[in-house]
Structure 1
């Protein structure tokens, strides 16, 4: 008996150029902009781990050395209380990395779970889940995060929670669209006929196919989340003094920006570099994970 197997759809087939997935990863890592982004993120990780070996205690006040410009002794200068800004920036990298990790493990999984269930099962469940998603998306992300942070009270944990609650809806809509497109494919029907449960289909088939696009979106969104977290710290709704959080450090130096530019500029430059690095890495991941991306 002649049995033929239908080929995978074009959007699920590996791209022949550049040697498939491995070639695409090698191509992405060879791009200078993505390589620069990776190096900056590695520097953030090193700074977060090396904060305990900072040149000076980031909390130690020395009023006799207040508002000193950058020098060999104080690489980034000192603030209004004589604290070493370079040491505080190093310690602040920990909180930035914490925001990135906490947002990454909460935003994308929740959004993808909602979207996959809505797209796969459809019907009344899809309607309810998507209307809830639309309610959250009706509010601008920054305003919703500000409102939640103000309601929950100041603090780093509350700021991260506010960011996570305001950031998951786009992942739900994206996962729902992909699940609706994939649920009628032949391999899904074959899994059903083979007796696979709905949970197995969701975890073994739909989730891996939707994870790459969610990863790219997450990498690009993390830059915005860091900016929102810095904005909450700037407004006093994030980490509280004397915690060396970058947004709070910018806020502390905004009133003396003209004569003592380094107090606010250098922590702001750290925020800028990390956000830029995440955007560059996100662009590289998009090119590496999309088999239809042009080279």
Structure 2
């Protein structure tokens, strides 16, 4: 089904390449990405005079942009993945309890979500990072807190509908425990929706991290992310446009690939809509 949707297939390949760069980049290119060469300051792109690493140009300290983009992918993907995974686990867990248990427990959990959502997410991130200090763990913590209500509310709404279905009622009649029903019967039905939301949220978290780094309260050197590279390249927009252009382009490409792939996943993981992809297969045959 993925092969038949060309846009989704290309998006998956792009994301796979980015993930490989994030995993292998720091090991293979860390020294090259941090080595300064003042003779190559703001070296223009599309030139091989200084080797393949400078094909995208050099930054203000003579470091190759290509190597820095590959290494920066590690921190960017780490923050986005850590944030989405943490928020999904906590939010989905609370949502399962709120949707299945009694009214009092549900109301208490939903008020917690309302409190979190009452603060603007970017403002909350600015305040917390200013107090705790900018670092990757703190970035993951504050962004995860702001994203928990999304998974909590979605999971609760799904559970409220699923728990009335016949197979859940049959499990209750047969004496199954609450946690067995939640984990074995309800969670598998809710999981596809959560995966689709997580794919979309991954792109949102990347943009949020880039915004915080651009404001100067995100990840700090020697760590590096695409958002930090955009921030560092802002003073050179008139003289060395490539310093901010390439990391900005990587953010756009990754976010676009995630959105295209999430659209495919929404159809592929939904039994009620999967027939559209299967109909394409039958037509092609």
One fold, TM greater than 0.5? yes
**Dislocated runs of 4+, deviation >4 Å:** none
Distance in structure 2 (CA, Å) of the matches to 1:202 and 1:55: 45
Contact 1:146 1:162 (C-alpha < 8 Å) held by counterparts? no
SS of the residue aligned with 2:33?
coil
| Matching of residue 113 in structure 1 with residue 98 in structure 2 | no
Distance in structure 2 (CA, Å) of the matches to 1:146 and 1:131: 23
Query: Which whole-Å deviations, capped at 9, do the CAs of 1:171-223 have from their partners, x for residues lacking one?
Result: 11111111111222222222122121111111001111111101000101110
Q: TM-score, normalization: structure 2?
A: 0.90
| Matching of residue 279 in structure 1 with residue 259 in structure 2 | yes
Match of 1:123 among 71, 84, 103: 103
Distance in structure 1 (CA, Å) of the matches to 2:111 and 2:149: 11
Name the residue aligned to 1:18.
none
| Matching of residue 94 in structure 1 with residue 69 in structure 2 | no
Query: Which whole-Å deviations, capped at 9, do the CAs of 1:59-103 have from their partners, x for residues lacking one?
Result: 111112101101212111111111111111110111122123212
Q: TM-score, normalization: structure 1?
A: 0.87
Name the residue aligned to 2:41.
66
Name the residue aligned to 2:8.
34
Distance change >3 Å, CA 55–CA 161, structure 1 → 2: closer
C-alpha deviation, 1:238, in angstroms: 2.0
Match of 1:219 among 179, 199, 210: 199
- Structure 2 residues not aligned, in runs of 5+: 277-285
The answer to which of 134-143 and 252-261 deviates more is: 134-143
- Structure 1 residues not aligned, in runs of 5+: 1-25
SS of the residue aligned with 1:90?
helix
Name the residue aligned to 2:28.
53
| Matching of residue 85 in structure 1 with residue 65 in structure 2 | yes
SS of the residue aligned with 1:210?
helix
Q: Which structure has greater helix proportion?
A: 2
C-alpha deviation, 1:55, in angstroms: 9.3
Match of 1:234 among 214, 231, 235: 214
Contact 1:230 1:246 (C-alpha < 8 Å) held by counterparts? yes
Distance in structure 1 (CA, Å) of the matches to 2:22 and 2:150: 29
Contact 1:69 1:260 (C-alpha < 8 Å) held by counterparts? yes
Query: Which whole-Å deviations, capped at 9, do the CAs of 1:125-147 have from their partners, x for residues lacking one?
Result: 01110011111122333332233
Contact 1:58 1:244 (C-alpha < 8 Å) held by counterparts? no
C-alpha deviation, 1:150, in angstroms: 2.2
Contact 1:56 1:84 (C-alpha < 8 Å) held by counterparts? no
